[in-house]
C-alpha cells in the first residue's frame, strides 16, 4: 500500500476526521434514548483511536455517525474538511467512496463473490481500470497475509481469514480514514491479536486515520488514544510500562466520554 488517497490539488489542514458535539437520540416506545451525548473527537492521519465501553454504551452509534451511515440529532462530522452531516446524498456518497474504508462487525462479505471480488467492490465504485484493480487487489491481499486465497468464497475461509478480507476491502482504495466496528468481535483471542496488530501497522505505516470500536483490551494497548464511552463514574486513567488497560478498571458516566492519551 502506498499513501492514502487525497484529492489532487487540495490541502487538508487539521484533523482528517472531526466530530463536534455529536448527539444521537433514538425515539423508542419507552421514550427518547440518548445513545451519544455531545461527543467531540478529532483524529489526525497516522492516529489510531480505540472506542471502548460496555455493551449498549453507544459505540456503534458513534461509528455509524462518523461514517455518514446515520445522521446525528445534532452536532457535525467533518471528513477531510467536508461537513458530511449537512451534505447532500451525492456529496456524502463521494466522501464515503473517496475517503472512508469501513469494516463491519459481522464482516459484511457477499457470500456469492470470491474474496478478490468482494475486495474489488470499492475499486469498481471508483471506476478504476481492470488492470489497476487486479494489481491493487494482489497488493492488499499480500498486506493482509492472504496471497493465494483470492479465489475462495467467504464460506471457504476461516473466521480470521474472512475478517482479513473485510479489512482488505476497507483498505483497498487506500482510504485516508478507516472506521472499524468491533473488527475482532467474532474471533478467538490469538486471531484477534493478529488482526489488531495488522490494523495498527497499516494505520501507522500508511498514515491512515482510524477509529476502531472494541471490547478487546489488546487494542487499547495498540491505540494512540482511547475514547471511553460508558457507565458509572469518571475516573482518571493511568498506565505503567508494559501495562495494558483493563476495561473493568475504567468507568465513566453513561454516554459521557473520557479521553485518554497513553
Ligand atoms: N435504531 C435504533 N433505535 C433505537 N435504539 C437504538 C437504535 N440503535 C441503537 N439503539 C440504542 O442505542 C444504544 C447504543 O447502542 P449501540 O449499538 O451504539 O451500542 P454499542 O456500545 O455499540 O453496544 P455493543 O457493544 O453491544 O455493540 C443502545 O441502548 C441501543 O439499544
In the chain, what are the domains? 17-260 (3.40.50.300)
- Arithmetic mean of pLDDT, 186-211: 84
Among candidate residues 197, 187, 180, the one with its CA nearest the CA of residue 160: 187
The whole-number pLDDT of residue 197 equals 83
Question: Cα(108) to centroid of ligand 1, in Å?
Answer: 19
Write the residue with the smallest CA distance to atom 11 of ligand 1.
35
ipTM for the complex shown = 0.98
Instruction: Tell whether ligand 1 has an atom less than 6 A from the beta carbon of residue 66.
Output: no
Mutate to test the pocket of ligand 1, among 22, 23, 26 (most ligand atoms within 8 A of CB): 26
Pocket test for ligand 1, best of 23, 52, 55, 56 (most atoms within 8 A of CB): 56
Q: What is the pLDDT of residue 249?
A: 37
Provide CB contacts within 8 A for 164, sequence distance 6+: 144, 145, 146, 195, 198
Query: Could you give the C-alpha distances from 175 to 166, 168, 172, in angstroms and in order?
Result: 14, 11, 8
What's the 184 CA to ligand 1 centre distance in angstroms? Answer: 18
CA 104 to chain CA mean position, Å: 8
CB 194 within 8 A of CB 158: no
Left (φ > 0), alpha (ψ -120 to 50) or beta: where does 80 sit? left
**Burial category of 89 from C-beta neighbours within 10 Å (exposed 0-12, middle 13-18, buried 19 and up):** exposed
pLDDT of res. 259: 57
* CA 186–ligand 1 middle distance (angstroms): 18
Residue 243 cell numbers, joined = 501495562
pLDDT for residue 238: 36
- Predicted local distance difference test score (pLDDT) of residue 248: 37
- At residue 204, the pLDDT reads 87
> DSSP per residue over 141-207, as a string?
HHHTT-TT-TTS-GGGS-HHHHHHHHHHHHHTT--SEEEEESTTTTS-HHHHHHHHHHHHHHHHHHT
With CA atoms as reference, report the closest residue to 214 among 118, 67, 103, 110.
103
pLDDT in tens, 184-193: 877 777 778 8
Q: Does the model's pTM come out above 0.80? A: yes
How far apart (Å, rounded) are the C-alpha atoms in residues 146 and 85? 36
Alpha carbon of 6 to ligand 1 centroid (Å): 33
Q: To 5 degrees, how large is the angle CA 65–CA 178–CA 36? A: 25
Q: What is the DSSP letter of 245?
A: -
Query: How far apart (Å, rounded) are the C-alpha atoms in residues 95 and 90?
Result: 9
At residue 247, the pLDDT reads: 38
pLDDT digits (tens, 9 = 90+) for 81-108: 999 999 999 999 999 999 999 988 777 8
Per-residue pLDDT band for 250 (boundaries 50, 70, 90) equals: very low
CA–CA distance, 33 with 47 (Å, rounded to integer): 31
* Ligand 1 atom, smallest distance to 58 CA: 18
| Cβ atoms of 167 and 187 closer than 8 Å | no
- pLDDT value of position 230: 67
pLDDT tens, position by position, 151-165: 999 999 998 899 899
44 near 28, Cβ under 8 Å?
no
Q: How far apart are CA 152 and CA 162, in angstroms?
A: 10
Compute the distance from residue 43 Cα to the ligand 1 centre, in Å.
23
Q: How far apart are CA 157 and CA 198, in angstroms?
A: 18
> Which of residues 261 and 49 earns the better pLDDT score?
49
**Shortest-distance atom of ligand 1 to CA 61:** 18
57 lines ligand 1 (CB under 6 A): yes
> For the chain, how many residues are written?
262
Asked whether 99 and 5 are in contact (CB, 8 A), the reply is yes
Amino acid at each position: 500500500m502506498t499513501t492514502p488517497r487525497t484529492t489532487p490539488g487540495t490541502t487538508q489542514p487539521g484533523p482528517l476526521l472531526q466530530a463536534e458535539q455529536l448527539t444521537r437520540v433514538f425515539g423508542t416506545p419507552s421514550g427518547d434514548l440518548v445513545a451519544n451525548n455531545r461527543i467531540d473527537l478529532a483524529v489526525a492521519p497516522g492516529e489510531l483511536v480505540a472506542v471502548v465501553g460496555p455493551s449498549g454504551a453507544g459505540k456503534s452509534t458513534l461509528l455509524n455517525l462518523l461514517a455518514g451511515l446515520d445522521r446525528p440529532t445534532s452536532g457535525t462530522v467533518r471528513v477531510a474538511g467536508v461537513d458530511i452531516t449537512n451534505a447532500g446524498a451525492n456529496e456524502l456518497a463521494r466522501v464515503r467512496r473517496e475517503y472512508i474504508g469501513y469494516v463491519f462487525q459481522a464482516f459484511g462479505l457477499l457470500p456469492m463473490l470470491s474474496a478478490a471480488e468482494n475486495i474489488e467492490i470499492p475499486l469498481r465504485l471508483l471506476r478504476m481500470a481492470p488492470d489497476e484493480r487486479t494489481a491493487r487487489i494482489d497488493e492488499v491481499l499480500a498486506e493482509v497475509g492472504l496471497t493465494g486465497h483470492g479465489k475462495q468464497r467467504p464460506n471457504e475461509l476461516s473466521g480470521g481469514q474472512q475478517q482479513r478480507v473485510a479489512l482488505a476491502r476497507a483498505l483497498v482504495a487506500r482510504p485516508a480514514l478507516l472506521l472499524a466496528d468491533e473488527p475482532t468481535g467474532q474471533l478467538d483471542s490469538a486471531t484477534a491479536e493478529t488482526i489488531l496488530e495488522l490494523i495498527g501497522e497499516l494505520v501507522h505505516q500508511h498514515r491512515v486515520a482510524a477509529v476502531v470500536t472494541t471490547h478487546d483490551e489488546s487494542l487499547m494497548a495498540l491505540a494512540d488514544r482511547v475514547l471511553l464511552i460508558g457507565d458509572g463514574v469518571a475516573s482518571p486513567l493511568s498506565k505503567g510500562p508494559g501495562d495494558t488497560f483493563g476495561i473493568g478498571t475504567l468507568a465513566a458516566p453513561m454516554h459521557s466520554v473520557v479521553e485518554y492519551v497513553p
